[in-house]
Structure 1
């Protein structure tokens, strides 16, 4: 098995702002694993909040090339277990390797990934489209540019309720709110009353990630379901979220890939938690991997590639929120160049 490394700067269509800051480009690393003329692809993007950088990814991959380039008939699950001791300090990179190996493995079996997992695509699950923090006029403009059945609206400003009320005048779509740790418990509970009136479906991660006391208070008193994001990173976090959140948003890069994400979803469902998988603004390589988990989910946020000026890959697509799987086997992703 041969490792090929490619790095990109993914340019965004619009500056993307959340409560923590603004980004105009997303550095990304694409991992390709080749064996007998077949390729599998995986992706990890840089994220300052999680202290991850593409230069760091590339350096570590080169240093550990021999560990990765084993010729093996391991299952993706076995390969993840093999890699974990070497990459457990870098879940983003472990994710890219897991995606690439899973893609390669299922290509070799002439199967789509969801077929390998014995799943059938859901017809009733749609991805939201994300509207970053901006002026109200620009947020309305983005909604008009991308008519969509579900919007995730980023908040964390002094005028959050006014923003949602104004956006509601221009759309009958489902609204989901993501405050990215920008609110207090009292603010969240009070906002939930008004946001419910405005047709909001749920609130994602309103409090700082480690505020478990506040999360419990919000869980008990919110008028809307609360979904964990920054509070649910790795597998052991799922159980912590029980009775503190109504659901969890699992992100492949945070938890180390498809293999642990699937286990996290299974655990969450066993606890009665709602299940969601989100993206971190990546190309169609990462987005295509996410799509195969949707039969297990209540919600999905996989619009990352739509936020890019130019997608470096092709694969699973979104049409008016609906998921259209690639004709290719594996995850369905391929690079354009």
Structure 2
């Protein structure tokens, strides 16, 4: 099995800001696995919060490239277990795992959602993310991209005022993501005001390790709260079920589709909501996420919509939020160059 890696710097349409950082570009790594005339593509973005760069991922994968090329590929799950055994970071594993799943589907001649015995007749609508900025800039972004659901990034001194102003200009559903910037008291105080303003849920308002604070929020918040930074890997799901209404799974953080599928099942068994989110991936990563949407309650897969230019074809999302699935198999991804 041949492995190829390519680094890209993806330009964003607008500066993207959350409570802890801002950026105009997103570095990403594309992994390609080729076997029997078929090539599968996977992706993992760099992330300063988790100290991951494209260079670090290339180095990790490069150290075992000969073993990958000699690997007797049968299923993505067996390949994933092999990668875990080699001690790679979850981000590097994600790029390879997504490529393995795409390859597997192409070898079988089926899209992944069919292999998983799901259909695309019903699925949740993705939100479109509005990063932290001045109210004028946030409004301009909303007007540029009319959408049925907006995820609004907060973590400022005027969070409620921002939502009040944005609400004057749209009837869309709002979701709030504070990216760990609030306290339990702020969350409990803000929740009823935000509920009246049409907010559906709050995502990770508290610091990732503030479990006592989240327990307080669980007992007193009038809005559901979804875990993000508190839910990284499979072992986090059970603990999150005691402190959150649901979890947001990120493929890069957990290590790809293979563990994500297990996390989805575990969360459903525990009776909590399931969301899958993105990390400003190109259409390569977004197309992998899209294969999961029949199994989800919520989805945040707007990453490619935030880019000035893309690097691949695959899943396409219309302004209504409707997902157009590609005719190709696997994740349906093809690189543009």
SS in structure 2 at match of 1:97: helix
User: Per-residue deviation at 1:36?
Assistant: 2.2
Offset of residue 122 of structure 1: 4.2
State yes or no: 1:60 paired with 2:41: no
Q: Which residue of 2 aligns with 1:250?
A: 249
Q: Which residue of 2 aligns with 1:20?
A: 20
- Looking at structure 2, the residues matched to 125 and 102 of structure 1 have their Cα atoms a distance apart, in angstroms, of 22
TM-score by length of 1: 0.98
Q: Who is 1:275 aligned against?
A: 274
1:32 counterpart SS class:
strand
SS, match of residue 40 in structure 2? strand
Distance of 1:48 and 1:121 partners within structure 2: 35
Deviation of 1:105 after TM superposition, in Å, equals 1.0
Mapping of 1:83-232 within 5 angstroms?
Answer: 83-88=83-88, 90-232=89-231
Aligned 8 A contact 1:125 1:322 in 2: no
Could you say what secondary structure the match of 1:191 adopts?
helix
Does the 8 A contact of 1:87 with 1:94 survive in 2? no
Aligned residue number for residue 81 of structure 1: 81
Deviations 1:239-280 (A, max 9, x none): 010120000000100000000001001000111100000000
Size of the aligned set, in residue pairs, is 336
Q: Tell me if the contact between 1:276 and 1:297 (Cα under 8 Å) persists in the aligned partners.
A: yes
Structure 2: tracts of 5 or more residues without a match:
none
Q: What secondary structure sits across from 1:123 in the alignment?
A: coil
Alignment root-mean-square deviation, CA: 0.9
Does structure 1 residue 333 correspond to structure 2 residue 333?
Answer: yes
Tell me how far 1:204 sits from its aligned partner. Answer: 0.1
Q: Which residue number corresponds to residue 31 of structure 2?
A: 31
Q: CA deviation at 1:123?
A: 2.5
Secondary structure of 1:49's counterpart equals: coil
| CA-CA distance at 1:60 after TM superposition | 1.5
Q: Quick check: 1:122–1:294 contact (8 Å CA) kept in 2?
A: no
Cα distance in 1 between the residues matched to 2:21 and 2:277: 19
Q: Is the 8 A contact 2:123 2:293 kept in 1?
A: no
Distance 1:301 1:122, change over 3 A: farther
**Post-superposition CA distance 1:209-240 (Å, at most 9, x none):** 00000000001100100000000000000001
User: In 1, distance between residues paired with 2:314 and 2:193?
Assistant: 39
Q: CA deviation at 1:76?
A: 1.0
Could you tell me whether the CA contact under 8 Å between 1:314 and 1:334 is conserved in 2?
Answer: yes
Q: Is the 8 A contact 2:30 2:42 kept in 1?
A: yes
Q: Which moved more, 1:322-331 or 1:172-181?
A: 322-331
> How far has the Cα of 1:124 moved from its partner?
4.3
User: 1:109 Cα shift?
Assistant: 0.5
Deviation string 1:140-197 (CA, Å, 9 cap, x unpaired) is: 0000000000000000000000000000000000000000000000000000010000
Per-residue deviation, 1:72: 2.2
Dislocated runs of 4+, deviation >4 Å: none
> 1:48 aligned to 2:48?
yes
1: CA distance between counterparts of 2:121 and 2:85?
35
Q: Give how far 1:83 is off.
A: 1.4
Distance in 2, matches of 1:191 and 1:258, equals 35
What is the DSSP-based 3-state SS (H/G/I as helix, E as strand, rest coil) of the residue aligned with 1:207? coil
Q: Structure 2-normalised TM-score?
A: 0.98
